[in-house]
Amino acid sequence: MNDLWRLSAVDLAALIRARKVSAKEAALAGLARLDAVNPVINAVVEHRPDDVMAQAEAIDAALARGDEIGPLGGVPVTVKVNIDYAGYATTNGVQIQSGVLPTSNSPVIDNLRKAGAVILGRTNCPAFSYRWFTTNLLYGDTKNPRDPALTPGGSSGGAAASVAAGIGHIAHGTDIAGSIRYPAYACGVHGLRPTLGRIAAYNAALPERIISGQITAMSGPLARTIGDIRLGLAVMSQPDMRDPWWVPAPLEGPSMPKRAAICLRPDGLEITDDVEAAVRDAGRRLRAAGWTVEEVDNTPPLREAAELQTQIWFGDGFQGMMDAAEREGDPGALACLRGIQPRLEGFENGGLSRALVRRSSFVRDWQMFLQDYAVVLMPVSGELPFADNLDLKDAESFERVWRAQLPQIGIPFMGLPALVVSTGLVGRTPTGVQIVAGRYREDLCLLAGEAIEAGGTPVSPIDPVTA
């Protein structure tokens, strides 16, 4: 049973419910896999084997009593270090928060535990979760298991690297401008950023988030199968009244015709030939699955949305962010803030209000557009995954990275769901596509994602490449 870590969460949960495998066996397999590969990739930065085994034994005891163990009963998962987990520091990848020890769990942790998940460990992120690269002074570098020369993505780089390497079956991540979607893309797995309000968020150990974080940052699942993404979403999105933005929306909406728009260059995005090939390939897979796929020249506004998303993310309280980064001394966080600062000119003079007013127009435009299409298929990024820490090379490289990430940055401004589906490799560099749907229509993203997944080679956990 040492290869249980290879299974999907759905399949492992079924085996445990049928008592063909124990939660203890699944936990031992997960810990063994962590011990075998984590030293190479540094994806999981904190784990306590005794606690893991105690969680698993509690699941086995509940099963023996005939109790309901939940849809993830006994399945090992990972969670990111930026959400409250009682007894574990909510560091967000920075030394200055290493003393933040919560006494209660975030809604995501509580929902995972209620569903019977066994939390295997905590995954790495860049300092303050600012970058699409994952390194910090507290835990060090996370490596991409497919190619250590490539970024594992960020800010949920540890989450994507762990699940790609078979450490856990579902990983929790957070996304304010691509922090679930880009790591999924970079590590060759799938990742879902849900609709605003779908998954409850709250960190009691930290001050309330500024309004931009409240309306654009979302938790979500990363996994190796779309079926596991679906399961992770269902589990994480259970009610929690601590989040005033949580919405009791059904996970399945009204049926829509299987009609997809494909946009290769949304709002003038420059793309490479490999990116275009990946999007066209995904479109062919949808057509083969019975979807109507129409190529469109453009989507509703995305470039201005991305600029406004950047401004509200960093502009509201920028000096406080800079002060904290200087105290931490993290080179990546400082480079990010300094690179972003020119985009914030004039924001303090009513910029937040102007951005939120403009947001209403963009949400309306996208809602009207998505009346005609179940989903929009587009690039994740204008380029294949970047060389690791490219944004630190020079100012030109920093701008190159931000330009390419337009599809990821813009979508959160409207609060829309977006799913990244891994579609294959160019050499050993992953490729993938982004699927966008209307608000609370993650089901449509997943429906299209399943068709794209079925038309290609399934994602399997890999042994990390070391050179």
Residue 387 falls within a domain, yes or no?
Answer: yes
Residue 465 pLDDT exceeds 90 = yes
Q: How many CB atoms lie within 10 A of CB 139?
A: 24
Confidence grade of residue 384 (pLDDT, cut at 50, 70, 90)? very high
pLDDT tens digits, residue range 266-284?
999 999 999 999 999 999 9
Amino acid of residue 264: L
387-412 average pLDDT score: 97
Q: Is 22 part of the annotated catalytic residue set?
A: no
Residue 464 falls within a domain, yes or no?
Answer: no
pTM: 0.98
pLDDT at 1: 63
pLDDT tens digits, residue range 144-171?
999 999 999 999 999 999 999 999 999 9
Q: Assess contact for 182 and 241: CB atoms under 8 A.
A: no
CATH number for the domain harbouring residue 99: 3.90.1300.10
Q: Is 397 part of the annotated catalytic residue set?
A: no
**Which of 245, 257, 69, 78 minimizes the C-alpha distance to 167?**
78
List the domain range (segments joined by +) for residue 149: 4-454
pLDDT at 2: 77
Residue 290 falls within a domain, yes or no?
Answer: yes
pLDDT at 200: 98
How many domains, in total, are found in the chain?
A: 1
Helix/strand/coil for 335: helix
Residue 73 falls within a domain, yes or no?
Answer: yes
Give the span between the Cα atoms of 291 and 28, in whole angstroms. Answer: 43
Give the span between the Cα atoms of 439 and 407, in whole angstroms. Answer: 17
Residue 385 falls within a domain, yes or no?
Answer: yes
Identify the active-site residue in 179, 212, 219, 237. 179
Backbone angles phi, psi at 287, to 5 degrees: -60, -45
**Residue % of the chain over a pLDDT of 90:** 99
What are the structure tokens assigned to 338, written together? 């300094």
Residue 463 falls within a domain, yes or no?
Answer: no
**Residue % of the chain over a pLDDT of 70:** 100
pLDDT tens digits, residue range 75-109?
999 999 999 999 999 999 999 999 999 999 999 99
Beta bridge partners of 276: none
Residue 460 falls within a domain, yes or no?
Answer: no
Identify the active-site residue in 22, 129, 155, 422. 155
Q: Is 255 part of the annotated catalytic residue set?
A: no
**Which of 434, 425, 387 minimizes the C-alpha distance to 406?**
434
pLDDT tens digits, residue range 341-382?
999 998 989 999 999 999 999 999 999 999 999 999 999 999
Identify the active-site residue in 8, 22, 24, 80. 80
Backbone angles phi, psi at 424, to 5 degrees: 155, -160
Q: Assess contact for 123 and 45: CB atoms under 8 A.
A: yes
**Which of 230, 239, 219, 229 minimizes the C-alpha distance to 79?**
219
Residue 459 falls within a domain, yes or no?
Answer: no
Angle subtended at Cα 396 by Cα 391 and Cα 402, rounded to the nearest 5 degrees: 55
- Which helix (H) or strand (E) is 337 found in, with range? helix 331-340
Give the span between the Cα atoms of 139 and 158, in whole angstroms. Answer: 11
Q: How many CB atoms lie within 10 A of CB 143?
A: 25
Angle subtended at Cα 392 by Cα 388 and Cα 395, rounded to the nearest 5 degrees: 130
